Structure 1
Amino acid sequence: MSQSFSRTPETDIIDYRSAEHLLAARDPRGAIKLLDEVIGQHPESTAARLLRARAFFAAAQLRAAELEFTIVLEREPDNAFAHFALARTFERANRPDQAKRHFRLAAALDPQPEYVTAARFEQT
Protein backbone atom coordinates (compact mmCIF):
# COMPACT_ATOMS: atom_id res chain seq x y z
CA MET A 1 0.00 0.00 0.00
CA SER A 2 1.59 3.21 -1.14
CA GLN A 3 0.96 6.32 0.90
CA SER A 4 0.93 9.71 -0.80
CA PHE A 5 2.00 11.64 2.28
CA SER A 6 5.35 11.65 3.99
CA ARG A 7 5.55 9.91 7.33
CA THR A 8 6.27 11.96 10.43
CA PRO A 9 7.05 10.92 13.99
CA GLU A 10 3.45 11.80 14.82
CA THR A 11 2.20 9.46 12.07
CA ASP A 12 4.25 6.64 13.56
CA ILE A 13 2.88 7.29 17.05
CA ILE A 14 -0.67 7.35 15.71
CA ASP A 15 -0.08 4.11 13.80
CA TYR A 16 1.46 2.47 16.88
CA ARG A 17 -1.50 3.47 19.08
CA SER A 18 -3.95 2.41 16.37
CA ALA A 19 -2.19 -0.97 16.17
CA GLU A 20 -2.63 -1.37 19.94
CA HIS A 21 -6.35 -0.72 19.53
CA LEU A 22 -6.64 -3.10 16.58
CA LEU A 23 -4.92 -5.85 18.53
CA ALA A 24 -7.24 -5.26 21.49
CA ALA A 25 -10.19 -5.39 19.07
CA ARG A 26 -8.93 -8.76 17.79
CA ASP A 27 -7.71 -7.53 14.43
CA PRO A 28 -4.09 -8.67 14.57
CA ARG A 29 -3.61 -8.55 10.80
CA GLY A 30 -4.64 -4.89 10.74
CA ALA A 31 -2.22 -4.22 13.58
CA ILE A 32 0.59 -5.98 11.71
CA LYS A 33 0.05 -3.81 8.62
CA LEU A 34 0.36 -0.62 10.67
CA LEU A 35 3.37 -1.91 12.60
CA ASP A 36 5.17 -2.93 9.41
CA GLU A 37 5.19 0.77 8.48
CA VAL A 38 6.31 1.88 11.93
CA ILE A 39 9.11 -0.70 12.10
CA GLY A 40 10.14 0.19 8.56
CA GLN A 41 10.79 3.70 9.82
CA HIS A 42 12.08 2.68 13.28
CA PRO A 43 13.64 -0.80 13.12
CA GLU A 44 15.27 -0.17 16.50
CA SER A 45 11.90 0.21 18.25
CA THR A 46 11.65 -2.66 20.68
CA ALA A 47 8.15 -1.61 21.74
CA ALA A 48 6.88 -1.77 18.15
CA ARG A 49 8.55 -5.15 17.63
CA LEU A 50 7.04 -6.52 20.82
CA LEU A 51 3.59 -5.33 19.77
CA ARG A 52 4.07 -6.84 16.30
CA ALA A 53 5.19 -10.12 17.89
CA ARG A 54 1.99 -10.18 19.93
CA ALA A 55 -0.03 -9.49 16.79
CA PHE A 56 1.75 -12.29 14.91
CA PHE A 57 0.97 -14.63 17.81
CA ALA A 58 -2.68 -13.59 17.81
CA ALA A 59 -2.82 -14.19 14.04
CA ALA A 60 -1.29 -17.68 14.56
CA GLN A 61 1.80 -16.67 12.57
CA LEU A 62 4.06 -18.50 15.00
CA ARG A 63 7.35 -18.38 13.09
CA ALA A 64 7.03 -14.61 12.63
CA ALA A 65 6.09 -14.22 16.31
CA GLU A 66 9.10 -16.31 17.35
CA LEU A 67 11.41 -14.16 15.24
CA GLU A 68 10.09 -10.89 16.68
CA PHE A 69 10.15 -12.12 20.30
CA THR A 70 13.72 -13.32 19.72
CA ILE A 71 14.77 -9.91 18.40
CA VAL A 72 13.22 -8.27 21.45
CA LEU A 73 15.09 -10.66 23.76
CA GLU A 74 18.39 -10.04 21.97
CA ARG A 75 17.94 -6.36 22.84
CA GLU A 76 16.34 -6.86 26.26
CA PRO A 77 17.37 -10.26 27.66
CA ASP A 78 15.72 -9.42 30.99
CA ASN A 79 12.27 -8.78 29.47
CA ALA A 80 10.16 -11.27 31.42
CA PHE A 81 7.05 -10.69 29.32
CA ALA A 82 8.95 -11.41 26.09
CA HIS A 83 10.27 -14.67 27.58
CA PHE A 84 6.76 -15.62 28.67
CA ALA A 85 5.25 -14.77 25.29
CA LEU A 86 8.00 -16.63 23.43
CA ALA A 87 7.32 -19.62 25.69
CA ARG A 88 3.62 -19.45 24.78
CA THR A 89 4.64 -19.33 21.12
CA PHE A 90 6.81 -22.44 21.52
CA GLU A 91 4.03 -24.15 23.47
CA ARG A 92 1.54 -23.44 20.71
CA ALA A 93 4.05 -24.73 18.13
CA ASN A 94 4.38 -27.99 20.10
CA ARG A 95 7.96 -27.31 21.18
CA PRO A 96 7.62 -27.98 24.92
CA ASP A 97 11.31 -28.08 25.85
CA GLN A 98 11.94 -24.62 24.45
CA ALA A 99 8.70 -23.38 26.03
CA LYS A 100 9.71 -24.69 29.45
CA ARG A 101 13.06 -22.88 29.31
CA HIS A 102 11.46 -19.51 28.56
CA PHE A 103 8.62 -19.99 31.06
CA ARG A 104 11.28 -20.55 33.71
CA LEU A 105 13.31 -17.54 32.62
CA ALA A 106 10.19 -15.38 32.76
CA ALA A 107 9.36 -16.60 36.26
CA ALA A 108 12.93 -16.10 37.46
CA LEU A 109 13.01 -12.54 36.11
CA ASP A 110 9.54 -11.60 37.37
CA PRO A 111 7.81 -14.03 39.77
CA GLN A 112 4.26 -13.10 38.76
CA PRO A 113 1.84 -15.89 39.64
CA GLU A 114 1.01 -16.55 35.97
CA TYR A 115 4.70 -16.91 35.10
CA VAL A 116 5.49 -19.11 38.11
CA THR A 117 2.52 -21.40 37.42
CA ALA A 118 3.52 -21.77 33.77
CA ALA A 119 7.13 -22.52 34.75
CA ARG A 120 6.05 -25.62 36.69
CA PHE A 121 9.16 -25.58 38.85
CA GLU A 122 7.87 -28.51 40.92
CA GLN A 123 8.11 -30.69 37.79
CA THR A 124 11.57 -31.49 36.47
Structure 2
Amino acid sequence: MDDELQAPPLIFPGRGPETAYRTAHDLLARRAPREALEVLEPALAEEPGNTGLRSLRALAYLLRAQLGPAEAELAALVEERPDDDWVRHALGRSLERQSRLAEALPHLRLAAAMSGDPEHELAVLRVERRLAETGERSFDDLA
Protein backbone atom coordinates (compact mmCIF):
# COMPACT_ATOMS: atom_id res chain seq x y z
CA MET A 1 0.00 0.00 0.00
CA ASP A 2 1.38 3.35 -1.03
CA ASP A 3 0.90 5.89 1.76
CA GLU A 4 2.70 8.69 -0.06
CA LEU A 5 0.67 11.69 -0.97
CA GLN A 6 0.64 12.39 -4.67
CA ALA A 7 0.58 15.97 -5.86
CA PRO A 8 -2.01 16.69 -8.50
CA PRO A 9 -0.66 17.33 -11.99
CA LEU A 10 0.26 20.89 -12.78
CA ILE A 11 -2.38 22.67 -14.78
CA PHE A 12 -1.52 25.93 -16.48
CA PRO A 13 -3.97 28.36 -18.00
CA GLY A 14 -3.53 29.47 -21.57
CA ARG A 15 -1.64 27.90 -24.39
CA GLY A 16 1.18 28.75 -26.67
CA PRO A 17 4.83 29.63 -26.31
CA GLU A 18 4.20 32.93 -24.50
CA THR A 19 2.33 31.21 -21.70
CA ALA A 20 4.89 28.40 -21.58
CA TYR A 21 7.70 30.96 -21.36
CA ARG A 22 6.08 32.87 -18.49
CA THR A 23 5.16 29.72 -16.61
CA ALA A 24 8.59 28.10 -17.05
CA HIS A 25 10.34 31.33 -16.07
CA ASP A 26 8.27 31.47 -12.88
CA LEU A 27 9.00 27.82 -12.11
CA LEU A 28 12.73 28.33 -12.62
CA ALA A 29 12.65 31.37 -10.33
CA ARG A 30 11.11 29.05 -7.73
CA ARG A 31 13.86 26.47 -8.35
CA ALA A 32 11.52 23.92 -9.94
CA PRO A 33 13.47 22.91 -13.07
CA ARG A 34 11.76 19.53 -13.52
CA GLU A 35 8.37 21.16 -13.63
CA ALA A 36 9.70 23.87 -15.97
CA LEU A 37 10.91 21.19 -18.37
CA GLU A 38 7.45 19.61 -18.30
CA VAL A 39 6.06 22.94 -19.52
CA LEU A 40 8.84 23.68 -22.00
CA GLU A 41 9.03 20.39 -23.87
CA PRO A 42 5.49 20.50 -25.36
CA ALA A 43 5.94 24.17 -26.30
CA LEU A 44 9.26 23.40 -27.96
CA ALA A 45 7.66 20.54 -29.86
CA GLU A 46 5.37 23.17 -31.40
CA GLU A 47 8.12 25.79 -31.88
CA PRO A 48 11.52 24.05 -31.87
CA GLY A 49 13.37 27.17 -32.97
CA ASN A 50 12.07 29.44 -30.21
CA THR A 51 15.28 30.79 -28.66
CA GLY A 52 13.57 32.08 -25.53
CA LEU A 53 12.14 28.67 -24.73
CA ARG A 54 15.44 26.99 -25.58
CA SER A 55 17.31 29.36 -23.25
CA LEU A 56 14.94 28.47 -20.43
CA ARG A 57 15.38 24.77 -21.19
CA ALA A 58 19.16 25.23 -20.98
CA LEU A 59 18.76 26.97 -17.63
CA ALA A 60 16.55 24.14 -16.37
CA TYR A 61 19.22 21.65 -17.44
CA LEU A 62 21.86 23.67 -15.59
CA LEU A 63 19.76 23.76 -12.44
CA ARG A 64 19.29 19.99 -12.64
CA ALA A 65 23.05 19.53 -13.23
CA GLN A 66 22.30 17.92 -16.59
CA LEU A 67 25.45 19.50 -17.99
CA GLY A 68 25.66 17.57 -21.26
CA PRO A 69 22.21 18.61 -22.50
CA ALA A 70 22.78 22.14 -21.17
CA GLU A 71 26.07 22.42 -23.04
CA ALA A 72 24.56 21.12 -26.28
CA GLU A 73 21.65 23.57 -26.12
CA LEU A 74 23.87 26.50 -25.16
CA ALA A 75 26.48 25.76 -27.84
CA ALA A 76 23.73 25.77 -30.47
CA LEU A 77 22.38 29.04 -29.10
CA VAL A 78 25.86 30.62 -29.15
CA GLU A 79 26.16 29.66 -32.81
CA GLU A 80 22.84 31.34 -33.55
CA ARG A 81 23.25 34.32 -31.21
CA PRO A 82 26.97 35.00 -30.63
CA ASP A 83 26.17 38.44 -29.17
CA ASP A 84 23.99 37.10 -26.33
CA ASP A 85 26.03 37.59 -23.15
CA TRP A 86 23.75 35.41 -20.99
CA VAL A 87 24.07 32.46 -23.38
CA ARG A 88 27.86 32.89 -23.51
CA HIS A 89 28.09 33.07 -19.74
CA ALA A 90 25.83 30.05 -19.24
CA LEU A 91 27.88 28.01 -21.73
CA GLY A 92 31.06 29.02 -19.92
CA ARG A 93 29.53 28.01 -16.58
CA SER A 94 28.41 24.69 -18.00
CA LEU A 95 31.93 23.98 -19.23
CA GLU A 96 33.42 25.17 -15.93
CA ARG A 97 31.16 22.84 -13.96
CA GLN A 98 32.48 20.00 -16.12
CA SER A 99 36.05 21.06 -15.20
CA ARG A 100 36.71 22.07 -18.81
CA LEU A 101 38.24 25.34 -17.70
CA ALA A 102 40.30 26.10 -20.80
CA GLU A 103 37.17 25.81 -22.95
CA ALA A 104 35.07 27.83 -20.51
CA LEU A 105 37.32 30.84 -20.18
CA PRO A 106 36.87 32.40 -23.66
CA HIS A 107 33.08 32.29 -23.28
CA LEU A 108 33.23 33.75 -19.79
CA ARG A 109 35.60 36.52 -20.91
CA LEU A 110 33.34 37.46 -23.82
CA ALA A 111 30.27 37.50 -21.58
CA ALA A 112 32.05 39.73 -19.06
CA ALA A 113 33.26 42.11 -21.77
CA MET A 114 29.82 42.32 -23.38
CA SER A 115 27.84 42.78 -20.18
CA GLY A 116 30.09 44.44 -17.63
CA ASP A 117 28.22 42.31 -15.08
CA PRO A 118 30.30 41.87 -11.89
CA GLU A 119 29.11 38.25 -11.59
CA HIS A 120 30.46 37.54 -15.07
CA GLU A 121 33.76 39.20 -14.18
CA LEU A 122 34.01 37.11 -11.00
CA ALA A 123 33.51 33.96 -13.05
CA VAL A 124 36.45 34.96 -15.27
CA LEU A 125 38.68 35.56 -12.25
CA ARG A 126 37.64 32.27 -10.66
CA VAL A 127 38.42 30.25 -13.79
CA GLU A 128 41.69 32.11 -14.42
CA ARG A 129 42.77 31.35 -10.84
CA ARG A 130 41.85 27.68 -11.17
CA LEU A 131 43.73 27.44 -14.46
CA ALA A 132 46.80 29.06 -12.87
CA GLU A 133 46.62 26.61 -9.96
CA THR A 134 46.53 23.63 -12.31
CA GLY A 135 49.09 25.04 -14.75
CA GLU A 136 46.64 24.47 -17.59
CA ARG A 137 46.53 27.01 -20.39
CA SER A 138 43.37 28.54 -21.77
CA PHE A 139 42.40 28.39 -25.41
CA ASP A 140 42.99 32.16 -25.58
CA ASP A 141 46.60 31.66 -24.44
CA LEU A 142 47.22 29.08 -27.14
CA ALA A 143 46.11 31.36 -29.98
2:53 corresponds to which letter in structure 1? A
Do structure 1's residue 64 and structure 2's residue 69 form an aligned pair?
yes
Give 1:12 deviation, angstroms.
2.8
- The aligned length equals 116
Runs (4+) of structure 1 moved beyond 3 Å? Answer: 121-124
Partner of 1:33: helix, strand, or coil? helix
Identity of aligned residues (%): 37
Per-residue CA deviation, residues 19-57 of structure 1 (Å, 9 max, x unaligned), is: 111111111011112111111111111111001000000
For structure 2, the 5+ residue unaligned runs are 1-13, 133-140
The residue aligned with 1:38 is 43
> Which of the two has higher C-alpha Rg?
2
Higher alpha-carbon deviation: 11-20 or 53-62: 11-20
1:84 aligns with 2:89: yes
Tell me if 1:94 matches 2:99: yes
Distance of 1:46 and 1:12 partners within structure 2: 11
SS at match of 1:118: helix
Distance (Å, rounded) in 1 between the aligned partners of 2:17 and 2:108: 32
Cα deviation, residue 75, structure 1: 1.2
Deviation at 1:16, TM superposition (A): 1.9
**2:50 pairs with 1:48:** no
Cα shift at 1:60: 0.7
- The aligned residue for residue 117 of structure 1 is 122
Name whichever of 67-76 and 56-65 sits farther off: 67-76
SS in structure 2 opposite 1:43? coil
Q: What amino acid maps onto 2:78 in structure 1?
A: L
**How far does residue 13 in structure 1 lie from its aligned partner after superposition?**
2.0
CA drift of 1:67 comes to 1.0
Cα pair 2:17 2:53 within 8 Å, conserved: no
Aligned to 2:8: none
Paired residue for 2:17? 12
* 1:11 CA drift (Å): 3.2
Instruction: Using structure 2 for the length normalisation, give the TM-score.
Output: 0.73
